[in-house]
Structure 1
Amino acid sequence: MNKICSYGVLICFIQSFNIYGQDINTILDAYSTKKVDYLEKTWCHEGYWGEAKEKKDNRFNEAILIYSLKENFDNDYYKLRIRKAIFFSIRHLQDSITGGFYENNRPNHVRTSLFLNAIATVISKHPEIYENLEVQSSIHRAVKFISTPQEFSSNHNLAALMSLSKLHEVTCDNVFADLLKEYREVIIKDFIFDQDYKSGYWPEAPKRWKNRLNVPYLLVQLMFVQQYLQTNKKEDEKIDKLYKAQLRKLSSLVNYKNFTLDVRQSYGKFKNKDIKFIKFSVPSIFFNSSMIDRIPLDNRKEFLLKCLERFDNDIKKYPALLNSDLYYRFLIINK
C-alpha cells in the first residue's frame, strides 16, 4: 500500500483584486455557487450528473473537481456525492479493456487525464480513498491508457503532465513519477519558438504541416500548464519559461477592447468560413499573468462578466462543459 505523502490544500479562487467594489473572488464565488446549485438538480442517486449514464460520457462526472472545491471538511454532504460518482465512473464509464474513461462511449485520452486529476485532487483531501483497492486499480489502468505521449497533440500531453504530477504529489508512487518525466521531456522538446525566442507555442498538428498553430488550443494548453505549475513552479523553471513564452504569444493575439482572439494565423476551419476573431471565455489565463495589466482597469469587470456570459451560452449548446470546464476556465490560480 502506498503511503500518502501530501494532503495539498487546493485553493479555490483566482487571486483577488478589486473591480468596482467587487473582487474576483466574490464574483466567482457567487457564480460557482449558482452553478453547483444547478448541478445539484442534475444529480442522480446512482452516482452521476446530467447525461453521464445515457451518453456514457464521463465528462459529466468531472464535476467531482468542482464539488471538491465547495466541500466543507465538517460536512459529509459533498464528500458522499464525490465518492459515489468516483465509483460509478469506475464501474460504468471506464473501458474494461483499455482503462480509458469515456467521452460519448469512447475511451478518450484527455478526459482520462482530467478525471485522474480530479480524483487526485479528492485524494489530497481524503487520502483514505486511495487505500481502496478498486480505486487504486482503476487509477493504474487509466494511467496505462495514457502511458504513451501523443505524437503532436500537445493538449493531450499537457493534460497528462498535469494529472501525473498531481497523482505523484498525493501518492508518492514512482510509477507516476517515471511517466511524468517521459511526458515532460516530450513537452519541452515539442515547443516551437518564434524567431525572437521570447514567444512560441505547443503544436497541435503533424511535423509535415507547414502551419502547426491552432490558436484556440493555446487556451486549452495553458489551462493545463497553469494547474501543473501551481505545485511545480519552483521545481520546474523550464516549463514555467515555456508557459510564459506561450502567454506572450497568446497576448499578441488578443483584442483587449472586445475580448476576442485573433485566429487569422490559425489552421482549421476559420479560413473556410472567413472567421478572423473568436470569442474569449477563459479569464483564468489572464488573472495569472501580467496580461491582466493590458486590460484597462475600467474594462476588467466587463471582461470577466463577458466571459461568464459566453460560458453560459456555451453550456446551453454543450451541457457537459459546466461539469468539465468551470474549474479550468475560471477557478485556477497560480501561487
Structure 2
Amino acid sequence: MSYIKLESISKSFKDDKVIQGLNAEINKGEFFVIFGPSGSGKTVLLRLLSGILLPDSGEIKMENAVINDLHPEERDVSMAFQNFALYPHMKAYENIASPLKANNISQDEIDSKVKEIANLLKIDHVLNQYPKELSNGQKQRTSLARSLVNRPSVVLLDDPLRNVDAKIRFEMRLELPKVLKEFNTTVIYISQDYREAMALADRIAVLYDGKFNDIDLPKNIYEKPSSLTTAKLFGDPTINNFNAVISKNENRVIAECNGEKIILQRKTSIENGECIVGIRPEDINLSNQQTEESLKVEFRTKTPLNLRIVFLVKLSNGLELLCSMSEEEAKNIKEKEQLYVSFKEDKCLFFDAITKRNLE
C-alpha cells in the first residue's frame, strides 16, 4: 500500500508551468529518487511535499490523508538542503539538536538522540565545532543528522551530495541507504546524476516536461526507457540513435539507414517501417575480425572514460557510432587496421520517429 500519493499535482510561476498533472505513489520505507535535468522542477516538487510551497491544483496525501493545508511543521517531514543550510552561530551539536529543542524535549533525551545520530553518521568528533570549521563532507553529515534526529516519517533530500568531493560522495552513497533503513524512513531524494540515482534508488522517477515520464526500478529504466529522451538521460557516453527503416526477418531485424543495412539479432513485435533505433555504446562489438553480420567502419578517435575506453567510428554512409569497452578489451583493437562493428543480441531499442516513445 502506498504511503505517499501525488495526484494531478500542478505548480506554475506566472507563465512558467513547472509541474503539470504529476502523479506518483511512494511506499513506506522506500528510497525514492527523483531524477531529472537541471531546471526540470525537482526542487519545486520537494518544496511542495515539505509544505514550503502549495500546489495550484491536485492533492498530496500521506496515509490517505490530504496534507495540502498542513504547515511544514505539521507534516512529520524533514528536509536536508544541497547547500547544507546550517546555522553559522551554532556548533554542530546545536544545529543537530535544533528540531528537538523546538519540540520541548528534555535535555537528557536531546543529548541521547544527538549522540546516537552523530555516531551513526560518524561526526561525533566534530559536535563542538562551528560550521566554518567543518569540511563540506562534515557539513553535509551534520545537515543530514539534523533532518533525521527527530525520526521523521519522511525525509526529503535535495541533491545532498552535490557539494562534496568525489571520495565523500562515494562513501555516502554506500552509507546513506544503510543509515536510512535503520530509521525505517521514507526517503525522497533529488539527483541530477544518473549514476547516483541508480546506485541509491529502490525506484527512480524521471522528471521532465512537468511530469514523471518513467517510474521504475533502476535496471528497468536503463534497459527499457519509455522514450528516447529518458534513454539519453541515462548513460555516459549517451545512447547512439539514428533514423532507419526496419524490416523483420525471423529472429533478426534489418535496419536500413542511408543505404547501409544494419543487422540486429532481435525479436520484436513492432511493425515494419520507419523508426529511431537506439543502441548503447557498450552493446556494440568493435573488432578487427569480420563476421557474417559485421559492418566495416573507419576509426575516428578514442578517449578514456572512467575505467572504460570509448571509440568513435564511422560507417560508410557517414553515420558515427560510439563504442565502449574495458581497458583490457581495448588493448586488442588495432586502430590502423580495418575495423568492424556488430551488435549484441537483444540489446537495441526502437522509438517512434515522431513522438520518440518506446515502441515496445
TM-score for both structures, normalised by structure 2: 0.21
* Bigger share in strand: 2
Larger radius of gyration: 2
- RCO comparison, higher one (Cα < 8 Å, 6+): 1
TM-score for both structures, normalised by structure 1: 0.22
* Bigger share in helix: 1
